Amino acid sequence: MSAVIAEDVLRSAAERWRRIDPLLPEPEEAGSAACGAELLVPAAKGRPAAAGWCRHHQVPPGAPELAWGAAAQFWLTAQVAGDAEEPGIGAALDELLGRWRAHLAAEPATAGQDSQAAVRWPSRDVAGVRALLRHGLQPLTVTAVRPAGRATPGWALDARGVRVRSAGPGDITAVTELAVEVIRFDQHFGSVLLHPHSADAERLAAEQNLARPDPWTWLAERDGQAVGLLIADPPDRADWIASVTSLAPVAYLATLSVRPGERGSGVGTALVAELHRRLDAAGVAVTLLHHGLLNPLSTPFWSRMGYRPLWTRWEIRPARALQ
């Protein structure tokens, strides 16, 4: 990889990103995690330069993450030079994706059915969208962001007998059931799968989380029955995702689930309002979460709660199907 060209690409992409979305971080290469494939597109007439880094990731059998992605994962970090009005951004990304496809075609693991090729692209960097579609990639998951202080709608919950409280070690079964319900529902939208081991993995996660002095987990109850669940990572546990945005500190909203018969009556809003109160008081700059772009319940709900797309994850399965 020509370090000079890659640096130029990153510098130019950084200027474009600052203009299209101030909540994006500085563009980065994949660093030591990259597989080392040479994915470099030199500038040509009508097309800026582009650089890419491919990362191969094998998820171990039985891991909880298998609910959210394939076992064999191939990720492209794609960077394209050019300002927001540059007409050749799509052509450069198109060329880069073609080189990545050739690289993946030579990797035996990309032929396996339980494999995926994925690209995380800034949601507002719209000049790349047509190229991503042309290669058969589908926009399935969004990383959404809510800057601190945005108003959260409120509902008169007491009248309907819903109470929000912190969860503790006695709530493992309710927390597990509601967490599994999110996976079950999200299966409709293409990138999530409820495995036979998923319920055990969620129970173990609940046991570990609820053993903390402050698990940042809340239950909504009606008549003493748990009807909704919210789990969040406070800033000291959200380091793993902090680099996706320019602001700090960040928190991560990991799970929101409402029992099917209870949806649409304000339970989700009540749980999110409780979290936002706590986050805004703690001086958290942004809250991040993932949601399925095709989920007709969560996409409008998060928009109403003050979240908007920051990154879009484009993917295709199996990885060899990349066009």
3-state secondary structure of 269: helix
* Per CB under 6 A, 267 contacts ligand COA: yes
Of positions 155, 197, 242, 321, contacts ligand COA by CB under 6 A: 155
Residues in contact with ligand COA, shown as a per-residue x/- string from 221 to 260 under the rule CB under 6 A? -----------------------------------xxx--
Beta 138-147 vs 286-292: how paired, if at all?
Answer: antiparallel
- What is the smallest separation between the CB atom of 299 and ligand COA, expressed in angstroms? 9
Give buried/exposed letters for 197-226 (b at 16+ CB in 10 A, else e): ebbebbbebbeebbeeeebbbbbbbbeeeb
* Per CB under 6 A, 301 contacts ligand COA: yes
CB 303 within 8 A of CB 272: no
CA distance 179 to 226: 12
- What is the smallest separation between the CB atom of 312 and ligand COA, expressed in angstroms? 15
Only segment of 14-22, 28-36, 240-248, 296-304 that touches ligand COA (CB under 6 A): 296-304
Only segment of 33-41, 67-75, 264-272, 307-315 that touches ligand COA (CB under 6 A): 264-272
CA distance 114 to 120: 19
* Per CB under 6 A, 265 contacts ligand COA: yes
| Contacting ligand COA within 167-206 (CB under 6 A) | 182, 185
**Of 204 and 297, which CB lies nearer to ligand COA in the complex structure?**
297
CB 261 within 8 A of CB 226: no
3-state secondary structure of 309: strand
Looking at the DSSP assignment, which residues form a beta bridge with residue 294? none
Of positions 143, 191, 295, 312, contacts ligand COA by CB under 6 A: 295
Tokens 């060899």 sit on residue:
320
CB 262 within 8 A of CB 201: no
CA distance 56 to 84: 30
Listed in sequence order, the residues at least 6 apart from 68 whose beta carbon sits closer than 8 Å to its beta carbon are 191, 192
**Of 11 and 277, which CB lies nearer to ligand COA in the complex structure?**
277
* Per CB under 6 A, 297 contacts ligand COA: yes
Only segment of 38-46, 103-111, 201-209, 291-299 that touches ligand COA (CB under 6 A): 291-299
* Per CB under 6 A, 293 contacts ligand COA: no
| Residue facing ligand COA at closest CB distance | 268
Question: Applying CB under 6 A, which residues contact ligand COA?
Answer: 155, 182, 185, 256-258, 263-269, 291, 295, 297-298, 300-301
